[in-house]
């Protein structure tokens, strides 16, 4: 009975010892760099010493009274009897002395250290089977580590950085990039050369070589046509935005001067505008307006825009007020009249006398002033009255 009680007491004591935690200074190291490993034990326990094992193999045990160890990458591989690249699981436990009996703790959860000699060149690929084109950067390493990929354009500009995930076969790591067409392509750039590289998530200065390149292309540039390029004020122009590959277009957007701040949207990709609407749309800045268009294609839940079309110019002719000069010619009849007076004989020019009598008198008064002869004016006046 006493022996049974003692054994139960020992089991209870062992169960009270919490498992330690193994800590590593770096998750990823090279063969020439080093890693510090510590076994953190509960504060209330008097620890005799700590034990470190690799991959849960008791035959590879390292003993440390200080509960700490330090290894180079090459030394860690030698301890594990592995070659680079390799991930090594490290576990620790501790012992304590209870009444002269050495009692071990439960083993800690494993901590993984990955040893890499050189990072291999990644493989890049593009797939358009999904709703959106997908660019994959595959890391040819089966180690348990976290990597970060960078994707670049042909001019070396970095597009994005993303963390890796396990591939479907669980053998390698892979980074996924979903390209944004609006950011990648412009009216003058409709294809891109994409490459990638990767680093370890912790040791970011440890970078792989750059992958080969893959080419991604934008949607085909649309073709914009207009039924007329010059409009009278009462005319109408028909605009049509078409693609060259018979893609199903969700809608088309018509812009003036290539800007999207004052656009006109058409689900049929056809647009009819009167000359007055063209003038209002141009903002009365000019009688001509440059028009472009682009279309959207649906890919799953996403709308993918095409590049802008080449511009077409529509001009509205406006009429201006004109002045017509009218010239009225009045035919004058003249007759020669000879008036004889005591002092002189004068020849006068006579109008047709179609004006009123008072106008005739006024004209004759003017003649009087020019000649200064009263008798001559009186004789002319009598003649005019008799003739009328």
Q: Which is nearest to 214 in space by CA: 123, 307, 121?
A: 123
Q: How far apart are CA 15 and CA 22, in angstroms?
A: 19
Query: How many residues are listed for the chain in this entry?
Result: 388
Relative orientation angle of helices 374-387 and 357-371, to the nearest 10 degrees: 160
Q: Which tens digit of pLDDT belongs to each residue from 41-51?
A: 998 888 999 99
Contact 85, 74 (CB under 8 A): no
Q: Which two tokens stand for residue 347?
A: 């020849």
Q: Is the pLDDT of residue 5 over 60?
A: no
Q: How far apart are CA 274 and CA 123, in angstroms?
A: 55
Q: How far apart are CA 329 and CA 269, in angstroms?
A: 62
Domains plus CATH for the chain? 2-116 (2.60.40.10), 123-217 (2.60.40), 223-316 (2.60.40.10)
Q: Which tens digit of pLDDT belongs to each residue from 179-235?
A: 877 677 766 677 889 999 998 866 656 789 999 999 988 888 899 999 999 998 889
Q: How far apart are CA 297 and CA 181, in angstroms?
A: 12
- Mean pLDDT, residues 88-92: 93
Q: Looking at residue 285, what is its pLDDT?
A: 60
Q: Is the pLDDT of residue 150 over 80?
A: yes
Most confident of 25-29, 34-38, 246-250, 298-302: 34-38
For the chain, the three-class secondary structure string (H helix, E strand, C coil) is: CHHHHHHHHHHHHHHCCCCCEEEECCCEEECCCEEEEEEECCCCCCCCEEEEEECCEEEEEEEECCCEEEEEHHHHHHHHCCCCCEEEEEEEEEEEEECCEEEECCCCCCEEEEEECCCCCCEEEEECCCCCCEEEEEECCCCCCCEEEEEECCCCCEEEEEECEECCCCCCEEEEECCCHHHHCCCCCCEEEEEEEEEECCCCCCECCCCCCEEEECCCCCEEEECCCEECCCCEEEEEEECCCCCCCCEEEEEECCEEEEEEEECCCEEEEEHHHHHHHCCCCCCEEEEEEEEEEEECCEEEECCCCCCEEEEECCCCCCCCCCCCCCCCCCEEEEEECCCCEEEEEECCCCCCHHHHHHHHHHHHHHHCCHHHHHHHHHHHHHHC
**What is the dihedral sign for C-alpha 352, 358, 362, 367?**
positive
C-alpha angle 125/128/131, rounded to 5°? 130
Q: Which tens digit of pLDDT belongs to each residue from 267-317?
A: 999 999 999 888 888 876 667 889 999 998 887 677 788 888 889 999 988
């Amino acid at each position: 009975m006493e022996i049974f009680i003692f054994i139960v007491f020992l089991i209870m004591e062992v169960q009270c010892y919490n498992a330690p935690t193994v800590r590593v200074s770096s998750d990823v190291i090279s063969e020439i760099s080093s890693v510090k490993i510590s076994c953190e034990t509960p504060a209330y326990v008097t620890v005799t010493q700590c034990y470190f094992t690799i991959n849960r193999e008791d035959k590879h045990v390292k003993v440390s009274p200080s509960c700490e160890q330090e290894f180079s990458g090459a030394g860690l591989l030698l301890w594990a009897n592995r070659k680079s690249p390799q991930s090594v699981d490290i576990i620790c436990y501790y012992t304590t002395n209870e009444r002269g009996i050495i009692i071990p703790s439960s083993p800690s959860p494993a901590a993984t250290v990955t040893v890499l000699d050189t990072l291999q060149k990644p493989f890049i690929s593009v797939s358009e089977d999904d709703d959106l084109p997908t660019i994959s950067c595959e890391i040819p390493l089966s180690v348990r580590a976290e990597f970060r990929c960078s994707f670049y354009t042909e001019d070396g500009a970095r597009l994005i950085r993303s963390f890796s995930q396990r591939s479907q076969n669980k053998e390698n790591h892979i980074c996924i990039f979903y390209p944004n067409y609006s950011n990648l392509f412009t009216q003058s750039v409709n294809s891109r050369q994409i490459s990638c590289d990767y680093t370890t998530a912790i040791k970011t200065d440890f970078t792989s070589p750059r992958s080969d390149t893959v080419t991604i292309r934008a949607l085909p540039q649309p073709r914009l046509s207009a039924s007329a390029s010059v409009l009278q004020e009462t005319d109408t122009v028909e605009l049509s935005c078409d693609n060259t590959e018979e893609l199903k277009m969700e809608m088309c957007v018509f812009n003036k001067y290539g800007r999207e701040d004052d656009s006109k949207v058409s689900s049929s990709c056809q647009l009819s505008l009167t000359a007055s609407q063209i003038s209002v749309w141009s903002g009365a800045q000019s009688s001509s307006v440059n028009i472009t268009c682009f279309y959207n294609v649906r890919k799953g839940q996403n709308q993918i825009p095409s590049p802008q079309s080449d511009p077409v110019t529509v001009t509205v002719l406006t009429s201006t007020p004109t002045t017509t000069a009218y010239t009225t010619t009045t035919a004058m009849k003249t007759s020669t009249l000879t008036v004889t007076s005591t002092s002189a004989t004068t020849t006068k020019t006579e109008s047709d006398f179609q004006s009123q009598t008072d106008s005739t008198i006024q004209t004759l008064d003017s003649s009087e002033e020019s000649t200064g002869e009263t008798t001559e004016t009186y004789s002319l006046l009598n003649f005019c009255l008799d003739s009328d």
